[in-house]
Amino acid sequence: MAAPLSVSHKGSLQNLQSPLALIMALNTDRRQISFPQLKYPPLRDDELKSTIKWIKGKQILDGAEGLWRIHDGLYDLTEFIPSHPGGAQWIQFTKGTDITEQFETHHLKGIAESLLPKYFVRKTTAPRNQPFTFHEDGFYKTLKVKIIEKLQEIPPDLRKKSDYVSDSLLIAFLIVTPLCSWAWTQNAIIGAALTILDAYILTSLTICAHNYFHRADNWRMYLFNISGLSYADWRISHSMSHHIYTNTVYDVEISMAEPFLQYLPRRDKSIWAQMAAFYWPIIHSFSIIGMAVSMYLSALQNPKESTLEWSNLLVLFGPVWMYFLGGLSLAWTLALWFVVTLLTSLQFVMFGLTAGHHSHLNFFEGDTPRSESIDWGIHQLDTIVERIDTPHDHFKSLTRFGDHALHHLFPTLDHAELKYLYPILIQHCEKFESKLRVTNFYSSLISHCKQLIRKKPNDFRGSYLRLSRDISLRKLGF
């Protein structure tokens, strides 16, 4: 197992001599609310939250014994790390954890399943600390088979559409960034307008780049770092946590927003927490800076286990490019870049939190689930009310976290491929008596505010889902 850690009385991490000492130092008897048969993840509520602590907490309860767990088997993937087609990070980051959900959802061609027996070590007797199932005749596995068949029929070069959008946004950013700086030396109104435009382009570029870090290593994923975020850190917090354990206690994107934004329905939620329904724009505006500060503090605390790498220096590219070509002094350049970052952060988080998961009609930890164990795909639909303003607008989908349900179900696919899969998903939902629920941007924004206020748990066991809006193929343009 990776180097064990413990929590001191102030919440800081210190090295211990054994995993047993760490387990004894933490309260591992605490249970989840929605799934009381499962243990609450250690370190989740630690004062300084980080992706590395999230992994450490999983290592304690996942029963992987320092290896990689998939269902009830233990595998030693050490030798496979340098040859993994998706890149080394996916396996390096997850050592000592249960990767069942990641394995099932990130491999569509069957190659990984054929290679897996080579690395089998032994069976484990420890139960999984997750409620999700992947039965062969269940919702997700049968949908996956249909999707794989459909992918053989769609045009093979669709991903070039996304590449074109990504590259065009990069070029636009290179032009507008120094231009908005120069404009401030000429006319304040034009300068302000171009500053807003620059922030919108950077927001679009960052969200677009998010489409690429879900896949195998590629150069476009590094564009994510220009905004000040880290694609490597987000591969953990977003791809491995939020995408897999959406709206549960293992969703680190939910926990990192606390205590400023409390999305979980708790009966003891304070009035100040509920007031976030009104002051959220302030929190959103400083989110990128806050995430960056948290990442760097975590790196200082545990430098040997940090996700920082050379690509994090890309955060300097924007202000340096602006300074040398823009014409403003260094002080004013830094001030202008600070404003661009605030505007980018506001738009980035606002688009992200209205994409589908933060509706007051969705399942969150604290709600009553359909059952103690649930098909992973059905859980994803229970946590999404998808925002659909302009169906099949590829630019909006790619730059505003669009086509969100299918993106969560099949994260390695390109957004340009997703529109061809809707008929299959809708028909499959009907077969399993589930729903793809939809809304528009403004309703989603209001629903996001209601979730910040919500204290009463939803009950997903009975007729609750029938109250939500249906989606039809006609609405999607088919």
Give the model confidence (pLDDT) of 251-265 as tens digits. 999 999 988 999 999
Cα separation, 150 vs 399, whole angstroms: 25
Judging by beta carbons within 10 Å of its beta carbon (0-12, 13-18, 19+), is residue 155 exposed, middle or buried?
exposed
Cβ atoms of 205 and 173 closer than 8 Å: yes
CATH number of 5-133: 3.10.120.10
Crossing angle between the packed helical segments 287-301 and 51-61, to the nearest 10 degrees: 60
Cα separation, 253 vs 199, whole angstroms: 23
Mean pLDDT (whole number) for 460-475? 56
Cα separation, 433 vs 439, whole angstroms: 20
Cα separation, 478 vs 472, whole angstroms: 9
Query: Residues in the chain, how many?
Result: 478
- For the entire predicted model, the pTM comes to 0.89
Judging by beta carbons within 10 Å of its beta carbon (0-12, 13-18, 19+), is residue 119 exposed, middle or buried?
middle
pLDDT band, very low/low/confident/very high, at 463 (cuts 50, 70, 90): low
Give the model confidence (pLDDT) of 207-234 as tens digits. 999 999 999 999 999 999 999 999 999 9
Mean pLDDT (whole number) for 139-160? 93
β partners of residue 68: 75
Mean pLDDT (whole number) for 270-288? 95
Specify which of 6-10, 92-96, 433-437 reaches the highest per-range mean pLDDT: 92-96
pLDDT for 28: 65
Question: What is the DSSP secondary structure assignment for residue 458, as one 8-state letter?
Answer: P
Cβ atoms of 151 and 299 closer than 8 Å: no
* Residue found by looking up tokens 């769609």 in the block: 154
Cβ atoms of 306 and 299 closer than 8 Å: yes
pLDDT for 239: 95
pLDDT for 26: 55
Question: Maximum CA pair distance of the chain?
Answer: 70
pLDDT for 194: 97
Cβ atoms of 363 and 458 closer than 8 Å: yes
73 has pLDDT over 90: yes
Domain segments of the chain as ranges: 5-133, 134-478
Least confident of 50-54, 133-137, 318-322, 450-454: 50-54
- For 207, residues 6+ apart whose C-beta sits below 8 A from its C-beta are 348, 351, 352, 398, 399, 400, 401
111 has pLDDT over 90: no
pLDDT for 10: 30
Cα separation, 344 vs 322, whole angstroms: 16
117 has pLDDT over 60: yes
16 has pLDDT over 50: no
Write phi, then psi, for 364 (nearest 5 degrees): -135, 160
Compute CA 428 distance to the chain's CA centroid, rounded to the nearest angstrom: 25
467 has pLDDT over 70: no
- For 386, residues 6+ apart whose C-beta sits below 8 A from its C-beta are 355, 356, 403, 404, 405, 436, 437, 438, 439, 471
Provide the token pair at 381.
């639909």
pLDDT for 244: 96
Angle at 343 between CA 342 and CA 344, to 5 degrees: 90
Q: Locate all alpha helices (DSSP H) within 249-399, ordered by sequence.
A: 252-257, 271-274, 276-285, 287-301, 317-326, 330-353, 376-382, 394-399
Give the model confidence (pLDDT) of 179-196 as tens digits. 999 999 999 999 999 999
Cα separation, 94 vs 81, whole angstroms: 11
Look at 356 and 7; give whichever has higher pLDDT.
356
pLDDT for 9: 29
Write phi, then psi, for 179 (nearest 5 degrees): -65, -40
Question: What is the DSSP secondary structure assignment for residue 240, as one 8-state letter?
Answer: I
Measured from the Cβ of residue 166, the count of other Cβ atoms closer than 10 Å reads 20
Measured from the Cβ of residue 429, the count of other Cβ atoms closer than 10 Å reads 21
Q: Is the Cα dihedral 117, 119, 122, 126 positive or negative?
A: negative
Q: Is the Cα dihedral 154, 157, 163, 165 positive or negative?
A: negative
Cβ atoms of 103 and 112 closer than 8 Å: yes
Work out the mean pLDDT of the chain and round it to a whole number: 88
β partners of residue 447: none
Question: What is the DSSP secondary structure assignment for residue 312, as one 8-state letter?
Answer: G
Mean pLDDT (whole number) for 350-364? 94
pLDDT for 80: 93
Radius of gyration over every alpha carbon of the chain, rounded to an integer in angstroms: 22
- For 53, residues 6+ apart whose C-beta sits below 8 A from its C-beta are 5, 13, 43, 46, 298
Name the percent of the chain lying above pLDDT 90: 75
